[in-house]
Structure 1
Amino acid sequence: MDWVEELGKICEVFPPSDAYRVDETPPLIAPEPAENFVVVKPENSVDVSEILKFANERGIPVFTRGGGTGLSGGAVPTANGILLSTEKMVEIEVDTENRVAVCGAGVTLKQLDRAAFKNGLSFPPHPGAETATVGGMIATNAGGVRALKYGTMRNYVLGLEFVLASGKILRVGGRTVKNSSGYSLLHLLIGSEGTLGVVTQATLRLFPAMKDITVLAAPFQRMEDAMSCVVEISSKMLPMALEFMERRAVEIGERVSGRRWVSREGEAHLLMIFERFDEAEEAAEIAENKGAIDVFVATGKREQDDLMAVRGLIYEGLRNEIIEILDACVPPAKIADYWRKSNELAEKYGIELVTYGHAGDGNVHQHPLIYDGWENTYFEFRKKLLELAVSYGGVISGEHGIGTVKIQELAEICPDQYRIMKEIKSLFDPRGILNPGKVVLPNHG
């Protein structure tokens, strides 16, 4: 890389530590990081512009990285080139009169939450780990447990500043909720995983301070009854969260958290979170009418924390036993059927699946456990599983993104969409320097 010294005249260049070589993608499916790359840490869009001009003129790959919390290999530098870290872009301004926060791409979710809270406001969706950055959450259109009521990142981004591969700085949107000003470049950038431009700043919508919550836990003998409960509750009110777990997931959550769930009986368990107590009461009645084994109402903070810890720590309990974490999304009314069919498919391949997820919005998390010879049959199974999700009117990724790990499925299951995405990529990034090998393959690939 004979260009490194020349790059050093534009910005400070750092050698890569091991932390920059990986994200949170499970190791068995994570892409192999490049041997040779350098790290740059720009502070603003002008710095980014200079770096991208330099890289574009020479055809050098640029991989943008936020908090490194992604699960699809999107932040892994997979070719020799430049890793652009947004960690120094941490300025934040809270405009209380217009209820927005103007954030640098490197602002973490924790920092955003704190800034909003100090100003009597909130950022309701909580779409990732607290170390996830604004830029990274925008890049993947992150969702999370509160998406049922509060939506995904797409619902909060009012304006963006981003830099094209050419170095051109663009600003789209503003501080208004409404915007019908032609094609939405703003929404095209959201979810593009760093392949169309580098987000440097975002204007995010804030809400009034959140209210106290009530948490319900309800086990059911049958998944069908649990999902019928979810559908009826969703038709009558809008909970903050409606989560589900199969029995094995509950057991894993209990083990790793050291907390107790209300019961291990039944094949399906619901965790429901409400901001209004009267809605929680009505939901409890619906659950009882749908055949819940029990309905536990947790009003004290300790009880609520115990229940949420069981659900929240399932992944930690499985981290070392899984091939990957899948995040297909299906219509909520189809979850039970999809769950049974996916288990039947897994049984044919000799695969154990652990399933839980966001019942209210249909985002199903499934963990295939490691087995001997998985490399020979797993990817065939995964394609059939994702085809099953799409056959129900679903999508292959609800919140983790495509990254490197689902490109083949995107191309084969959604060929027309994939072709148009490649054309858009070519328009924004003709030389293909931005996060190459992510979301879509190069034209010669």
Structure 2
Amino acid sequence: MINEIIENLEAIVGEKWVDTDPERVRSYSLESTNDNYSMVAPEPVAGSVIVKAADSEEIADILKFANKEKINVIARGAGTALSANTIPDQESIILSLERMDKIIEVDEENMLLKAEAAVSLGDIIEELKSSDHLYFPLHPGDEGAQVGGMAAMNAGGVRAVKHGIMRNQILGMEVVLPTGEIVHYGGSIGKLLKNNAGYDLMQLLIGSEGTLGVITEVSLKLYPEPEANGTLIVAFNDRKDAFAAVPAILKRGIIPMALEYVEKDEIQLAAADIGKKWPAEQGEYFLIIMLSEAKEDDLFEIGARIDQITAEFNPVEMLIAQSISERKDILDIRSHILPAISDKFVDSPDVTVPRGSLLEYLEKLTEIEEKYNTKCPVIAHAGDGNLHVLILKDEGAKPSYFEEIKKDIYQSAVDMGGTITGEHGIGKLRQDYLPMMYSERELEIMKQIKNIFDPNNILNAGKSI
């Protein structure tokens, strides 16, 4: 970045909040993609500048300046993304939102929490400990994830079966558009449950991966905290049995907080990596079923029903964790799988298929494994049909068939009405596969939407579409 640009940015935010140190710029240019998918993650282009804005007005001024000079801007949160969303591929203004970390209010009457973009999931959990039995259910796997990024990426994760993904939790947002205007969606104060006035532009911003606007505030829906919680682990010796049990549980009216599928090698490595023990001693494949009910009697009744249902699918063990510490250990272990095994795999496409097609997809995956003479372990948010299929390294290197097997994994999902990404997004890693899902006309409409929001293409250019 030339000195004149640096000076203009310093005039907006103050000299203290502009940083060109190469090492720090590099650290802000990396994200979880580089840690977990090091063989496929792009290397960040050097020469960017970090700018730490204090509020929406400063962000508006930064974007107006970037528009005038046609400089790329990347909004930066906690860096927990997994599809190369915030890795610079050109010299950019890395717009860090870290100073915008205030919980603005917890409105118990309207059951919502309003927070600035850099408030983390961990911050929200801590804040709600003092509320009147309210909680926020979503858990994308990393409690360091920030609400602005969770909204921009439409985060999902473990606990999304009962209450839905991030899109379902957002009542309102403040956004700075690429051209510098500050706008509000969901009503002027973000507390409306219904709003049918015009096109729902807020829904376009959710999941737009930082390409249509900079999300600065989010109003999140809160829920009454259930009094009875428990986590079941059901173990199987055949992964077909485990997957077959999923729709059987759901179609009988049981809607758990989470319904996860994991495999023995990966879950035990994750447990060992954080100094914990995976509680199930039998089985090779496991369903983790997190229950959340109003009364303890309901919890035990549903647990008994799950026991009866899964008995039809040859389980070898069933455990229940009811204490807070036991349940937290299981969630922590499940959330740590990818970091614990990142040295063993190259990529992890997060395809999603209709829940009723899980077994069909598994059969197709078996054919893919045989075709390439490999194994593809699976980690799945099985309750919503979202599967993370691991493409393993071949003797420590990217396999020669990497592009071919990845395409087959994606195409098999699309062929049965699925998608190439259920939660991680497109970023840079999945752009080449979008034509599998959309026609040229559909992609052109998306590009036109981008152009209307961002006529000079200065916001996270070259990502998502």
- Into which bin does the TM-score normalised by the smaller protein fall? over 0.9
How many angstroms apart in 2 are the aligned matches of 1:128 and 1:217?
A: 18
The alignment partner of 1:64 has SS state of strand
How many angstroms apart in 2 are the aligned matches of 1:306 and 1:108?
A: 20
Matched letter for residue 281 of structure 2: S
CA RMSD of aligned residues (A): 1.9
For the structure 1 residues 308 and 44, does the alpha-carbon distance in structure 2 shift closer, same or farther, using more than 3 Å as the test? closer
The alignment partner of 1:394 has SS state of coil
Tell me if structure 1 keeps the 8 A contact 2:240–2:362: no
For the structure 1 residues 139 and 15, does the alpha-carbon distance in structure 2 shift closer, same or farther, using more than 3 Å as the test? same
Q: Which one of 394, 403, 421 corresponds to residue 397 of structure 1? A: 421
* TM-score normalized with structure 1 length: 0.93
* TM-score normalized with structure 2 length: 0.89
How many angstroms apart in 2 are the aligned matches of 1:30 and 1:351?
A: 22
How many angstroms apart in 2 are the aligned matches of 1:249 and 1:439?
A: 30
Identity within the alignment, %: 37
The alignment partner of 2:161 has SS state of helix
Residue 140 of structure 1: how far off its partner (Å): 0.6
The alignment partner of 1:148 has SS state of coil
Provide the residue aligned with 1:68 in structure 2.
79
Asked if residue 315 in structure 1 is aligned to residue 338 in structure 2, the reply is: yes
How do 1:25-424 residues align onto structure 2 when only pairs under 5 Å count?
25=33, 26-92=37-103, 93-120=105-132, 121-173=134-186, 174-235=190-251, 236-257=253-274, 258-266=276-284, 268-276=285-293, 277=299, 278-371=301-394, 374=398, 376-416=400-440, 417-424=442-449
How many angstroms apart in 2 are the aligned matches of 1:252 and 1:335?
A: 25
The alignment partner of 1:296 has SS state of strand
For the structure 1 residues 4 and 350, does the alpha-carbon distance in structure 2 shift closer, same or farther, using more than 3 Å as the test? farther
Question: Per-residue CA shift, 1:122-151, capped at 9, x if unaligned?
Answer: 111123411111100001100011110111
How many angstroms apart in 1 are the aligned matches of 2:64 and 2:45?
A: 22
The alignment partner of 2:78 has SS state of coil
Tell me if structure 1 keeps the 8 A contact 2:235–2:316: yes
Q: Tell me which moved more, 334-343 or 102-111.
A: 334-343
Q: Tell me which moved more, 86-95 or 275-284.
A: 275-284
Asked if residue 24 in structure 1 is aligned to residue 26 in structure 2, the reply is: no
How many angstroms apart in 2 are the aligned matches of 1:431 and 1:352?
A: 45
Tell me if structure 2 keeps the 8 A contact 1:227–1:336: yes
How many angstroms apart in 1 are the aligned matches of 2:150 and 2:422?
A: 13
Matched letter for residue 420 of structure 2: I
Tell me if structure 2 keeps the 8 A contact 1:74–1:438: yes
How many angstroms apart in 1 are the aligned matches of 2:373 and 2:67?
A: 47
Tell me if structure 1 keeps the 8 A contact 2:101–2:115: yes
Residue 313 of structure 1: how far off its partner (Å): 2.8
Q: Tell me which moved more, 357-366 or 257-266.
A: 257-266
Tell me if structure 1 keeps the 8 A contact 2:349–2:410: no
How many angstroms apart in 2 are the aligned matches of 1:309 and 1:296?
A: 17
Question: Per-residue CA shift, 1:188-222, capped at 9, x if unaligned?
Answer: 00000000011111111111224331111112233
Provide the residue aligned with 2:455 in structure 1.
430
Q: Tell me which moved more, 210-219 or 369-378.
A: 369-378
How many angstroms apart in 2 are the aligned matches of 1:428 and 1:306?
A: 44
Consecutive unaligned residues of structure 2, counting only runs of 5 or more, are 294-298
Tell me if structure 1 keeps the 8 A contact 2:282–2:317: no
How many angstroms apart in 2 are the aligned matches of 1:54 and 1:353?
A: 48
Question: Per-residue CA shift, 1:273-292, capped at 9, x if unaligned?
Answer: 11231212211121113322
Q: For this pair of structures, how many residues does the alignment match?
A: 439
How many angstroms apart in 1 are the aligned matches of 2:92 and 2:267?
A: 43
Q: Tell me which moved more, 64-73 or 9-18.
A: 9-18
Consecutive unaligned residues of structure 1, counting only runs of 5 or more, are 441-445
How many angstroms apart in 1 are the aligned matches of 2:217 and 2:356?
A: 38
For the structure 1 residues 136 and 36, does the alpha-carbon distance in structure 2 shift closer, same or farther, using more than 3 Å as the test? same
The alignment partner of 1:328 has SS state of strand
Matched letter for residue 192 of structure 1: S
How many angstroms apart in 1 are the aligned matches of 2:332 and 2:63?
A: 43
How many angstroms apart in 1 are the aligned matches of 2:69 and 2:173?
A: 27
How many angstroms apart in 2 are the aligned matches of 1:220 and 1:74?
A: 37
Q: Tell me which moved more, 256-265 or 270-279.
A: 256-265
How many angstroms apart in 1 are the aligned matches of 2:157 and 2:321?
A: 21
Tell me if structure 1 keeps the 8 A contact 2:112–2:219: yes
Residue 375 of structure 1: how far off its partner (Å): 6.4
Q: Tell me which moved more, 174-183 or 60-69.
A: 174-183
